[in-house]
Each structure stands twice: as structure tokens, then as C-alpha cells.
A and B are shown apart, each in its own frame.
Chain A
Amino acid sequence: MKINKKGDKLLSIYWFAILVIVATGVVIMVNVYYGSPYDVRQVESGILANHVANCIYFGGEVNPSLISSNGIFKEDFRDHFMNYCTLNFSVEGEFTQIPYYLEINFFKGIDSPTSVFNISEGNQNLKSDCGVDVQDKSKLSKCTSNSFFMKLNSNDVYFVKILAVVSKVNENTN
């Protein structure tokens, strides 16, 4: 009888040890899986491009602050683009670089190769990350390039090209 009791105790210790091992394993698995961040930069740059597109051309109407009635682009829109489009690229910290870059080019006509007006905001150094052909692009900024045609009241058609770049490498990668 004595021997049996000892065996039971030993078995209880064994089961407890197994329980601890399995629980530790589950904790490690959950931590490993959910500990790594989601890279949302591509989506973020897409949302930024959409926002700018809506700011320029919404519901078939060009933003009246962008072009005057006689088809001349307003410098004031370029100078206060961030305010007009309710954007804010300011970052905390004195030496922190802006993790965004925006570039908008306007081409008169449907097939014109030269830009007649352009707006750029943010950190211009990020632009060089776009179009870089390397295998591991996780440490590069994410770029979204979109374009659309807009029509003025005067029936003039403009081709608008938007480039949105989001850096934020540290926040989105391991």
C-alpha cells in the first residue's frame, strides 16, 4: 500500500510537470504568433492616395481652390495644400524624420507627357525607395502610385498622377 501511494504522488508531480510544459508551450506559441506586427503601410499609402484624390476631385467637381475658373492652377493651393486637404504630417521628436511623402502631378490633356503643375509634401528622400528592385523590400518604404482623369467645367481634361509613400519601417516590421 505504501508503494502505491508513492507512485500516485510521483504521477501527480509528473502530470503537473506536463501541464506546466504544455501551458508554457501555448504561451510561447501565442506570443510568437501575435507578437509580430502587421505591416499596414501599403494600405496606409493607398488610403492617403484616396484621400488626396477626393480632395482634388470629388463628385465630378474639381476643388475650386485648386484651379481658377479660367483654368489657371492656384499657387495658394500648393502653398497650403496640407490645410486644404486636412492632412498633418507632423511628428513628435526633434530629429524624427517625416515618414510620409506625397507627390501630385497634373498633365493637361489625355496623353500629355509633361506636367503643368505639381505639388509635393513630406520627406522627399523616401521617393528613392519606390521602384527599387530588391528581393527583401520589407525595410523599404511602401509606395502607391495611382492616376485618374478629371474634367474642368471648361471641358478641359487633366490627367492626375498621385504618388503616396509611407515609411514607418520600425513600427511595421520586426
Chain B
Amino acid sequence: MIHFEDVSVTYDGAAEPTVSHVDFEVPEGELVLLAGPSGVGKSTVLGAVGGLVPHFTGGTLSGRVTVAGRDTRTHKPRELADVVGTVGQDPLSHFVTDTVEDELAYGMESLGLAPDVMRRRVEETLDLLGLAALRSRPIATLSGGQQQRVAIGSVLTPHPDVLVLDEPTSALDPAAAEEVLAVLQRLVHDLGTTVLMAEHRLERVIQYADQVVLLPAPGAAPVLGAPADVMAVSPVYPPVVGLGRLADWSPLPLTIRDARRRAAPLRERLSTREIPDHTPPSAAQLPAPPALRPAPARWWRRNSQTTSPTTPTPTPYAAEVRSLAVRRGGVQALRHVGLTVSPGETVALMGRNGAGKSTLLSALVGLVEPSAGSVRAGDAVPHRTAPRDLVRRVGLVPQEPRDLLYADTVAAECVAADRDADAPSGTCRALLTELLPGVTDDTHPRDLSEGQRLTLALSVVLTAHPPLLLLDEPTRGLDYAAKSRLTGILRGLAAEGHAIVLATHDVELAAELAHRVVLLAEGEVIADGPAADVVVTSPSYAPQVAKILSPLKWLTVTQVREALT
């Protein structure tokens, strides 16, 4: 169905080809997964299928890509629209209209299908993707998982032979990801659609793949094969494969079910060992942040207590939230939330998209004002503290790290960060060099990879040395290598005494890092306890290792490796 014949792509101004000598074939009706570390050109390969590379992006494509017999050299993306449906990384930038039903019809309208055909297909697609109840909803009001399903539906209605998806589940919570994957499974099995997708979170998708195309390194030729064979040699692999490699299972299991069948002896061996301890170490106390200056007077604010943002009693907690309620745009985003974080402790906030995780983090940095209850970050009340003082108490790395970066070189960014934080000059640059060796001063932040950009933003935030560090969805778009580097950095920070709160969908990251997991649902805390206790019992939030080794409370491959050696 899709043929790549010795394809190399060189973008304008690039010295070397982004991908070279890509040569593979995707047979009809298969789900093929494109895997590899970040920066190996997965998105380029996906774009080449729909003709967006090079017709839209520019650059030179040598070799030949054919889809359903059409050569992308002679067919523009719009002329391939009836055979290829492409959904990019961000579904929001994919939508042309504003309601679900119109969005589903848009592609068919462009192709000029007859009105009765369009009507029938819209109804069919609404049912297929479980969107019937949302048909007249404005797209902006949908949740992330629903938007992703609408985006897939919108390219399905013209009945394409090939579906191309770039990171379809990365931004989704585990339940919503399963929802999307179930739909893809159904398309492949019932309708014979050919699916080619790239995804960093292999643990979510590997069991659905018929074949894996692995791009092992930038410029390296792809490896194509059955998932188990490719995973045996791949530099990126999910925890289930990691455990399989560790235990020398052959062939490698890809699903929890297969692994559990093999795992009986391993479980027996491990049942006598002690799980490596994950409780917070007695943290070294960080130097106390300088005293608060009074917040700038805002005469139009009626609250008169602005003048005394500090309370005399010092608190043992780095963050303390008491019966917090927040209303945002007429929606009760949080209700009666209580949370305390001690220095040196790492807490993972988990829950569905829209459960209130980001709102809670925003409240801790004073971006939103509580409508009831109290928030304290160290000795400060965040929303009543001047930003200059607050950065030395609490730092947040937002979901999009780029939001924090304004300057056009890394060096300028670091200088600005030192100035913002009143830190001795060179502090930020030293931090960055420590966390991310090999980034030159004159690099533009936009040219960094996702992981590098995250680290830069983290260095900027850490320049002020805040005892409380918050990260919102830090692993979005990171490959396993970048993720393990981040894990190392955050562990080090926690050992130094920083309290860390991370909001994440990534159960594997939470299992690696968190001492405590807090589950949120509809703005309320529904579980709060040691990571092992909370996640092991939850079907959606249990990491793969926990699922394989339950009822034992092992969470990560690293733990198992440590125990066995």
C-alpha cells in the first residue's frame, strides 16, 4: 500500500539528509509502528506519505514514495486526500471548522462527495468513534481524547486507504489513549485500513503493531520486522520489553498477558527479595530563601490583607494546600483539595485530562486565585507575592517549556534568568552545563530538541533555587533516553532537598520518580499515598512492571535489576 524506495530527504539549509535510504513497504491492512529516538526523522517519513514532505515543507526528496499506486512526486497533498488521511501531533491545529459534525464533513466537502453519501458517512463515523453524543458540540469544548478522536474521524470520512498518525496518544491520559487505540484497532481489523503511526510511548502501542519500522539513529537505514524481533535490538523499548530482556525471555513478550505467563519463576525469585527503598531520604535542608518584600500595592484590589502575605509561623512543608477550591471560567476546577509536600519529597499528580492537575500547579505558583481555602508555598502565599520574590520559593516548568523562553540564544536566556532571579551571573549557565553538556551559547532555543528545551527551561527555573519545583507534563515528546536523563536530574534535585510536584500522564515516569502519587478526578483528590500502594491497584495507572509482577509491588525495571544483581 505504501512503498518507500530508497528515500532520502534533505531540508533546505541542512548539511545532511534528515532521513536517508529509507526503503520499506507497508502491506495493505496492517498497523505499522514507526519507532526510534527523537530527532531521527519519524515525522519526516510520516509527512512524505501524505506528500506534505516535500510539497509543503520544502527540501529535496530523492527516491520515490508511492501510496496506493500514486507517486507523491506528481501528486500534491490535496490530490492524495482521498487515499491518505494525516493527523499531526497537535489535533487543535488540524481543525478547520468549529463543530464536530462540520469537522467530520469538511474533508468530504472538499472532495465533492454527494450530500447523501456525506450524511451517511458522518453518521457511520460518529458511531464508529463513539462521538454521537458530541455531534453538535463546539470542538473547543472537548477534552483531549475527544479531540483526538474527532481529528481521526475527520480524516476517516473520505474513506482513505491509509491513515498516518503522528504521536496520537502522547498528550492523552491512559484511559483516553486506550480509547483512541481501540478505535485504530477496529479500523485495521474491521475496515482493512492501513495505519502508519509514530509514537514515543511504546508501552501503549507496541502490542497493536503488526510490524515495526525502527529508525535507530539519524541518517541510519531503517530496520523493518516483527515487533518482537525489532524490540530485541531497538534502542527504545517499553518496560515490558526491558523486563523481558533482563530475564532473557525469548521470544520477547510484548503484552502484559504474554509476560505474565512467563513471569511465574521471576515472581518467585523476587518474592523473597526486598524492594529497593524509595522513601524520601532525610533531605538536606536548602538555604532559606530571602525575606519577602511586600507585594506591590494594587489599589483597585479590595482585599486589604494584601499587606501581610507572610504568616509568622514557619511551616515544615514546602507546599501546603488546605481545602482549596478554584473556579475557572464558570467551571469548578478544584474543590476541597488538600495536599502537603515535604522537602525532598517527589509527588506525582495523576488523573484524566481536565481533572484539575494543571490548575493545582497554577494555584501553587499564584497564577490562579483560590476561591476558597488556602495555598502556601513555603512561607509565601503565592497569589499575593510579588513575582520576583516568588521565583525564589516556587518554580514551575509549564507544559510547553517554550513559553518560558524569550531570548534568541541560549546565552542570552541564561543571562536574563540570572537577572530575573538576582543570582550571581553565570549561575544559570553553570546549571545548564551540568544538566545538559554540549549546548553551545549561540544556539536558538527553538532549534533545541524537546528534551533539551525542557532542560533549558528547568535550568532557568532552578537558577532562583526554589525549594519547591513543579513540572507540568514534563515527558510529552521525550524519548526514553531523554526521559531517563530527566529522571536522573530530578532524583538528584530531590536528594538535595527540593520538593518536586509533577503532573503527568506517564505512569512509568511516576513509577520511577514519585514517592507519593495523588490521583485527581473532577477537581477532587481521590487517592493520596505511597506510589506503590496507589498505582498497583489501579488498572489505568499501574506501570507495566507492576502489572506483570502483581501482587508483588515492584514498579520499575530498574528496581528489579537492582534486586537481581
Is chain B a partner of chain A in the same complex? no
Residues of B within 8 A of A (CB): none
Q: Which residues of A contact B (CB under 8 A)?
A: none
